[in-house]
Structures are given as C-alpha cells and as structure tokens.
Chain A
Amino acid sequence: MKDTLFDQQASPDNFIHSLDPRTKILTLFPLIFVSTSTPPQFLLSFGLYSLYLIVLTALARIPIKLLIKRFLMALPFILMVSAYLPFVEQQDLSNPYSGGWWLFWNMVIKAFIGIYAMSVLTATTRFAKLIQGFARLRAPQLLLMLLSFTYRYMFVLVEEAQRMKRARDARAYGGRWLWQAKVIGQMIGTLFLRSYERGERVYLAMCSRGYDGTQSLWQNSSEALGRRDYAFALSSISVFILARWGVVI
C-alpha cells in the first residue's frame, strides 16, 4: 500500500517544501480562520484567498490530480451538510445577504479554502516533519503520539487485512450472507486481537529503549526559524489581512 496523503517525493530544493513545518502551520491555519470570519458577500476576498493558494500550488508544483482527489474525498461531506440549505432557509428581509443560497455559498467556499489549505500543507510536508512541527508548537504530546501511531500502523493493518481477505477467498469463501457475516465478524475480531498484541509489543520496544512515559518524543529544543521562514509568514499574513479587511473601501 502506498501513502498518497502526505508528501513523499520531497523536493528539498523547492522553496515551499523546504520551509520549516512550523511556518507552514502558522500561515495556513490563520488563513482558515481569516476565511471563516469573512462575510459571504466578500467575493473578492475569497477570490484572493484562492489566488494565494493557487500561487503556492504552482510554486510547490503540487500535482493537480492530487488536489482533485482530495476535493472529491471531501465533497460528499460538504454536500451532506449544505445541500439542503437553499431549499429550507428563508431570507431575512433586513439582510440582503441572508437566505438559503448565501448560506450554501458561505459553507461551500469556506470548506473549499480549508481543504485547499490543508492539502497544500500535507502535500508539501512529510508526516514526520509535520508532527514534529506541531510538537515544537507545543501541541499536546498524547494527541501527537496517537496521530503518529495511527499513521504508522494504518498501513500495517491494511496489509494484514488484505492478507486475511486473500486467505479467506482462497478457501472458497461464499455462501449465505449470515455465514459471510460470521466470517467477517471473526476477521474483525482477529484483527483487533492482533493489534492489541502489537500494541503491547510496541510498548515493550519503547520501554527497552529507555522510555518511561515522561520524555518528549520530539525534542522541544529546536533550531530557530530562518530568514526565509519569517519572510514567507509575514508576507502571507499581510496578504490575508489585505484580502480580508483591505477590500472594503
């Protein structure tokens, strides 16, 4: 199984890829907040946010196919919470920008900006670096550990499940659905047990390398951000501020 979620063809000489993960976190998350706080009728603002992300995409040479895949992945969820809005929400007469269609637009464009920003972040940062970036920004260690184990063992688990499925199919799996359900139930149970045992062994492996539950997995003392990082973050934030507050003249 291949990892298509995070950057794997790291391009160390690419400007965006080589920025400190902290810099990317500290610019792309603010973009999401700024965009969320923008009233839906500020069309120019949303245009500028998108333009900013398109420029990053071009600079980082992110494949368009990858972006489309991400959007398609998120589309069902966005539609689920927004598709009904145009039909049920009534316009509030005192506010010309209320009503179902504006609400729908508001939700869709903000989801678009959010997903686009996260895609740029993950497509240009290796998972390990991203987690380290969050750790250096003092995100809770427990949360980061869970994320990092999930990432690491997701692939092991999928492979294990695929092996079990193959073994099952090789033994002429079929028959009534009740029987099938029983087999699938057993498979899930086996996977759970194996993961549980793996968890115990991983913990032993951590202990035998001196872990006692108190240390930081990602060294917090870290090198300072470079000149390029400050330049990128400052110019980006200025763009957001101008796009958000500068367009209302």
Chain B
Amino acid sequence: MSTRALEITDLTYQYPNGTLALDKLSLAVEANERVAIIGANGAGKSTLLLHLTGVLRASSSSAFKVFGTELSKKTLREIRQRVGMVFQNPDDQLFCPSVHEDVAFGPRNLKLPESEVLKKVEESLAAVGLPDHGSRSAFQLSLGQKKRAAIATVLAMDCQMLALDEPTSALDPRGRREIMELLEQLGGTQLIITHDFALAQRLCSRAIILHNGRKVADGDPANLLNDEALLDAHDLL
C-alpha cells in the first residue's frame, strides 16, 4: 500500500483571540491527487494550509501525517521540505531583492552547495516560464508573473506536495489560464485553495468544501459544484 500524502484527523485550531478557525477537521489526500479546497471567506482554508508546514500548531490533540510522517518538532524540517507552500499574496513570498535570490532562498536553507542551488534556480524558473527574469526585482513583474515566481520558489525545494492558496485570484484571464496550465503540467500531489470553480472542475479529481472550520462535503467537483442547494447553504452562491 502506498502512503497517503496527507492524513488529518480531528484538527482543531483556535486563534489566540478566541476565533475557532478549524473545528475537528478530518481529511485525507492520496499521493498524486489534485484536491480543491473550497469555502467562503473565513471558512478556515488559509488556517488549514498554515498547519501543513507546521507554521501553526493544532490547539488540541489530533493526528497530522504528511507522507506517513507525524508532524512534530522533530519532523518539522523534513515536512517543510516535502510540502511547498505558495502564499496567496506573492509579495509575502518574494521578499528578496531579486527573483533569483528568492528562488535560491529555500535550497540555500537546505544547505545545498552553491552550484546545486544555481541549477535548481534555473530549472525552477524555466519550469514556470520565467527563465530570463531571475535578475529582476519582484516589483518589476506583473501579478501573474509574481504568482508564477512564487511557485518557482517552492519548486526549487523539490517538494513532494504543493499547497497553494488561491493561485488564480485577482488574475486577468490570460494570467489565470497560464497558472492553470502550469499546475496541470506540474502534476504531483496538489492541494489547491480556490474560489475558481472552473479550475476545480478542470484540474481536480476531488473537491472538499469547508464551512466554519468544518468539512461539509467531499467528492467529485462536477457533482458538488453543480449542487445549488449545497453551495447556497455554505455561502458559496
């Protein structure tokens, strides 16, 4: 039996100000599966994603396994390398003076030799279609290019799973199409938070609907996203 990419049982998270963002959430993602996480604003999607790389830690006892490894202080490093997090706002992810430095940041943290780092940077920028943009600064890129550069920063870490927070939000139709094609072509395990129903139906084999920190539906995107009663009940229509 192959190990699951992600297995979460009874995940509860409460922000320090008392907001219960995740409420006994359980879900599983198989390896090489592309899953859409859908939910209204405030449903807890981003909070869930922040748990994936151990940036946030569950408030109560729960099981959290990434590729069969239990998330803990000891395994944090390993899990951060396995899960590539792409934040919603690329300005948060591209914090270096040049795109090249941003993409090199992860591999350097992994203590790879500089020649290896250079190779990874070139490969990753080529994979997202920005091979000649390394020397640019992020403010010289369009939003679509910034989002792709942000994806390159995690590709360079050779992760086994991509976790993306609203990768197509605020993009023009061309930028959106480019991201969709890129995700399709990258393959592998992907967890995509999105409000983009077309993306979910075209790319994902499964959709999970969150509402108030709970999972309310899990299944075929084509069925779920055409179920008006379901969508309406969870503020998605």
Residues of chain A lying within 8 A (CB to CB) of residue B154:
209
- Contact flags A179-221 to B (C-beta < 8 A → 1, else 0): 0000000000000000000100110111111111001111101
Q: Does any Cβ of B come within 8 Å of A120's Cβ?
A: no
Q: How far is the CB of B77 from chain A (nearest CB, A)?
A: 7
A201 contacts B157, C-beta separation under 8 Å: no
Given A127-B97, A152-B95: A215 in contact with B111 (beta carbons within 8 A): yes
Residues of chain A lying within 8 A (CB to CB) of residue B137:
3, 127-128, 152, 155
Residues of chain B lying within 8 A (CB to CB) of residue A218:
101, 108
B117 contacts A210, C-beta separation under 8 Å: no
Of the 9-residue stretches B79-87, B176-184, B194-202, which lies at the interface with chain A? B79-87
Q: How far is the CA of A155 from the CA of B93 in the complex (A)?
A: 15
Given A127-B97, A128-B97, A128-B100: A205 in contact with B135 (beta carbons within 8 A): no
Q: How far is the CA of A100 from the CA of B96 in the complex (A)?
A: 47
Residues of chain B lying within 8 A (CB to CB) of residue A201:
87, 89, 92
B97 contacts A131, C-beta separation under 8 Å: yes
A209 contacts B80, C-beta separation under 8 Å: yes
Residues of chain A lying within 8 A (CB to CB) of residue B144:
none
Q: How far is the CB of A207 from chain B (nearest CB, A)?
A: 6
Q: Does any Cβ of B come within 8 Å of A156's Cβ?
A: yes
Q: Does any Cβ of B come within 8 Å of A238's Cβ?
A: no
A128 contacts B95, C-beta separation under 8 Å: no
B87 closest partner in A (C-beta): A205
Residues of chain B lying within 8 A (CB to CB) of residue A151:
97
Q: Does any Cβ of A come within 8 Å of B168's Cβ?
A: no
A149 contacts B95, C-beta separation under 8 Å: yes
Count of residues in B whose CB is under 8 Å from the partner chain: 38
- Contact flags B110-138 to A (C-beta < 8 A → 1, else 0): 11011001000000000000000001011
B157 contacts A210, C-beta separation under 8 Å: yes
Q: Does any Cβ of A come within 8 Å of B189's Cβ?
A: no
Q: A148's contact among B81, B96, B139, by CB below 8 Å, is which? A: B96
B98 contacts A210, C-beta separation under 8 Å: no
Q: Does any Cβ of B come within 8 Å of A80's Cβ?
A: no
Q: Does any Cβ of A come within 8 Å of B64's Cβ?
A: no
Q: Does any Cβ of A come within 8 Å of B105's Cβ?
A: yes
Q: Does any Cβ of A come within 8 Å of B143's Cβ?
A: no
A221 contacts B92, C-beta separation under 8 Å: no
Residues of chain B lying within 8 A (CB to CB) of residue A202:
92, 95
Q: Does any Cβ of A come within 8 Å of B153's Cβ?
A: yes
Q: Which of A205-249 contact B (CB under 8 A)?
A: 205-212, 215-219, 221-222
Q: Does any Cβ of A come within 8 Å of B91's Cβ?
A: yes
A209 contacts B92, C-beta separation under 8 Å: no
Q: Does any Cβ of A come within 8 Å of B17's Cβ?
A: no
A207 contacts B80, C-beta separation under 8 Å: yes
Q: How far is the CA of A8 from the CA of B140 in the complex (A)?
A: 10
B105 contacts A211, C-beta separation under 8 Å: yes
Q: Does any Cβ of A come within 8 Å of B226's Cβ?
A: no
B96 contacts A128, C-beta separation under 8 Å: yes
Q: How far is the CB of A151 from chain B (nearest CB, A)?
A: 5
Ordered by A's residue number, 16 sampled pairs between the chains whose C-beta atoms are within 8 Å are A126-B135, A128-B100, A128-B137, A148-B96, A148-B97, A155-B137, A198-B92, A201-B89, A201-B92, A202-B92, A204-B50, A205-B87, A205-B92, A205-B93, A207-B55, A209-B157
